[in-house]
């Protein structure tokens, strides 16, 4: 079953209006909770938004994206702003948005020493494993997901709104699927593996 779920999962950008039960949300988050983590730090925190609270959060994100257009804090990434606006529209249609925090992390707008950087790298690997567990559990429940990194374009606005000093890693849109996309092209295994015998 796990192998089938890995191969069948797709990023979903269209959702039905059907609500996702708290029971299913907790099953999905619990799958993330049991992921491996560096030094067992378990650096993840998940904030679940729906209804009016989700609308408020996404209004803050929209404002942050608009501010990024006017005064870029990520000047080398401005070409991604149009994609961020599209991602925001997708998030607006999803019944649930889960904000992903690194509880040990620091703002990307401050300098880190080498020790802190390596700790952050390991914690982000751990959070990635946790998120992947969640995406696969959602797929098993026939619930669609979209793993979102475009929160970076409204980082400071979102963190001020959330009221946390943790690191914003991204978000997950969650809802029942209104599309069945095909798999996007993947590199061949021989293009990504080198063996040393």
Q: How does pLDDT run across 80-90, given as a tens digit for each residue? A: 999 999 999 99
What count of other Cβ atoms lies within 10 Å of the Cβ of residue 3?
7
pTM for the whole structure: 0.95
> Rounded mean pLDDT of 109-116?
94
**pLDDT value at residue 1:** 59
**pLDDT value at residue 2:** 80
| Helices and strands (DSSP H and E) totals, the chain | 7, 4
> Rounded mean pLDDT of 95-119?
95
pLDDT of 119 strictly over 70: yes
pLDDT of 197 strictly over 90: yes
pLDDT of 102 strictly over 70: yes
State the Cα–Cα distance between residues 119 and 44, nearest whole angstrom: 14
Average pLDDT across the chain, whole number:
96
Query: Does residue 72 or residue 1 have the better pLDDT?
Result: 72
State the Cα–Cα distance between residues 99 and 88, nearest whole angstrom: 13
Domains of the chain: 14-177 (3.40.109.10)
> Rounded mean pLDDT of 174-193?
95
- The β-bridge relationship of strands 143-148 and 167-176 is antiparallel
**pLDDT value at residue 3:** 85
**pLDDT value at residue 39:** 96
What count of other Cβ atoms lies within 10 Å of the Cβ of residue 100?
25
**C-alpha neighbours within 13 Å on the C-beta side of residue 162:** 26
**pLDDT value at residue 84:** 97
Residue range 1-58, pLDDT digits in tens: 588 899 999 999 999 999 999 999 999 999 999 999 999 999 999 999 999 999 999 9
């Amino acid at each position: 079953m796990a192998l089938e779920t890995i191969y069948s999962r797709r990023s979903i950008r269209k959702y039905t209006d059907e609500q996702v039960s708290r029971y299913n949300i907790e099953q999905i988050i619990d799958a993330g909770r049991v992921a491996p983590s560096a030094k067992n730090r378990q650096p993840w925190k998940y904030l679940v938004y729906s209804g009016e609270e989700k609308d408020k959060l996404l209004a803050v994100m929209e404002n942050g994206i608009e501010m990024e257009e006017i005064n870029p804090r990520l000047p080398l990434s401005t070409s991604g702003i149009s994609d961020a606006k599209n991602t925001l529209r997708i998030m607006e249609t999803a019944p649930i948005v889960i904000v992903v925090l690194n509880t040990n992390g620091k703002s990307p707008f401050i300098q880190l020493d080498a020790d802190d950087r390596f700790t952050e790298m390991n914690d982000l690997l751990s959070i990635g494993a946790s998120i992947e567990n969640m995406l696969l559990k959602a797929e098993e429940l026939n619930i669609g997901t979209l793993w979102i990194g475009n929160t970076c374009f409204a980082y400071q606005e979102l963190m001020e709104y959330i009221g946390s000093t943790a690191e914003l890693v991204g978000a997950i849109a969650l809802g029942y699927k209104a599309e069945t996309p095909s798999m996007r092209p993947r590199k061949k295994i021989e293009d990504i593996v080198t063996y040393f015998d």
